[in-house]
Amino acid sequence: MKTEIFIGKLKLQNPVMVASGTFGYGEEYNRLYPVDRLGAIVTKSISLKPRSGNPAPRIYETASGMLNAIGLQNVGADAFLKEKTPFLNSLKKAKVIVNLAGESIEEYVELARRMERVSAVDGIELNISCPNCERGGIEFGVDPALTAQVVGRVRKVTRKPLIVKLSPNVTQIVTIARAAVDVGADALSLINTVLATAVDIRTWKPRIATVTGGLSGPAVKPIALRMVLQVHRALPKVPLIGIGGVTTWEDAAEFLLCGASAVQVGTANYVNPKAPLQIIDGLSRYLQEKKLKSPAELVGKLQLPGQWRGVPQVISGERRKK
C-alpha cells in the first residue's frame, strides 16, 4: 500500500497537511515531533509588509470550536524569506506551501512573484478568505469576478502549484470554485473559518475585540464536508483539500470520501499537537484494513442515494439536468 497522493503535480508523502495559521512556520511544533513526517506544512499567512494584527481579546472557545480574529499578525515577506525559510528548506519529505494574503491584487501578485524562486516553497495557497481583515482576504473570496481577477493575475506570475483557499461565507461555493479553476487554480482548499460571534452576557459585550471572528474546530466539520462534496461533484477533476474540524483519522476519511484528496489539520493542533501524526497512522491502518492500494481509492467514493439530486439548486448554483 502507498500513502502518497497527488494534488495536481504536487506529490505528498501522505494526505495530511497542517492548516495555515495553526502551525507557524513549522519550527515550533518540530520541538515536539519531526514535522518532516507531514504531507505538507502550510505556513501562517504572509503579507507583503509586517502586520500587527487585531487588538485582544482575539480568541474565544465555543461549543466544540473556537472563534479567532487574529488579523493576520505576521512578520511580513522579507522576514519570512530571511528567517523562516532556512528551517523549511531543511525538510526533506514534507512539502511546504506558503499561504499568501494581500490587501490588493497587486500585493498578491508581488507576493507570488517573490516566492517564485524560493526553493523552500513547493506551492502557494492564496488566502482569499480571511474573515478578519479590513482589506483583501474575504473581499476577494466572496465575489466570483474578484476571485477570477486575483487568481488569474497570480497564475501569470507563478509556475508553482497554485491552491486557492475558499471561504464558506458565500451562498454558492461552486460558483467561486469554478471562477478560481477557470483561470488556472491547480487545486482548492476549503473551508476557511465561518464568520461568527459570541457574547458575554455579564458585560453585554462581544467576546472578541473586533466583534466578529472566524469559527473553526469540530463545530464546522459538517459544513466543510458538505462544501467539499458539492465542489467535488461539480468539479470532479479538481484536487480538493478538505479543511474544517479535522481532529481524528476518521474525520480525514470522511473528507476523502466526500471528494478531498488531502486534508489540513487546524484547530486540533492546539488540542492535541500530535493529532496530524495520529491521523497519518490511523488513515494508513484504515486503508490496509480496507485493502486499498492508496488513499486516492477513497477519494469521492461516498455512496450517494441513486435519486439524490444534489443540494438545493439555490445553494449549488448548478442547473440540474432534467
Contact footprint for other proteins (CB under 8 A) = 21-24, 28-29, 31-32, 44, 50-53, 55-61, 63-66, 68, 70, 73-76, 79, 205, 209, 217-218, 245, 247-248, 267-275
Q: Which residues, including other chains, have CB under 8 Å from residue 255's CB and lie 6 or more apart?
A: 224, 225, 228, 242, 246, 263
Q: Position 50: which residue type?
A: P
Torsion angle (degrees, nearest 10) of CA 276, 281, 284, 286? -100
Composition of the chain by helix, strand, coil, percent to 5: 35, 20, 45
Strand partners, 40: 17, 95
Q: How far apart are CA 90 and CA 127, in angstroms?
A: 25
**Which CB, 176 or 224, lies closer to other proteins?**
224
**Cell numbers describing residue 94:** 514534507
**Which CB, 188 or 191, lies closer to other proteins?**
191
Which residue out of 130, 138, 176, 183 is catalytically annotated? Answer: 130
Of residues 68, 33, 35, 66, the one with CA closest to residue 53: 68
Give yes or no for a contact between 224 and 194, defined as CB atoms under 8 angstroms apart: no
**Which CB, 20 or 158, lies closer to other proteins?**
20
**Which CB, 9 or 205, lies closer to other proteins?**
205
Smallest gap from residue 30 Cβ to other proteins (A): 11
Q: What are phi and psi of 243, to 5 degrees?
A: -135, 140
Give yes or no for a contact between 230 and 168, defined as CB atoms under 8 angstroms apart: no
Smallest gap from residue 78 Cβ to other proteins (A): 11
DSSP state of 51: B
**Which CB, 132 or 147, lies closer to other proteins?**
132
Smallest gap from residue 24 Cβ to other proteins (A): 4
Smallest gap from residue 270 Cβ to other proteins (A): 4
Smallest gap from residue 214 Cβ to other proteins (A): 12
258 among known catalytic residues: no
Cβ-based burial of 148 (10 A; exposed 0-12, middle 13-18, buried ≥19): buried
Q: Which residues, including other chains, have CB under 8 Å from residue 90's CB and lie 6 or more apart?
A: none
Q: Which residues, including other chains, have CB under 8 Å from residue 305's CB and lie 6 or more apart?
A: none
**Which CB, 29 or 140, lies closer to other proteins?**
29
Smallest gap from residue 70 Cβ to other proteins (A): 5
Which residues are catalytically annotated? 130
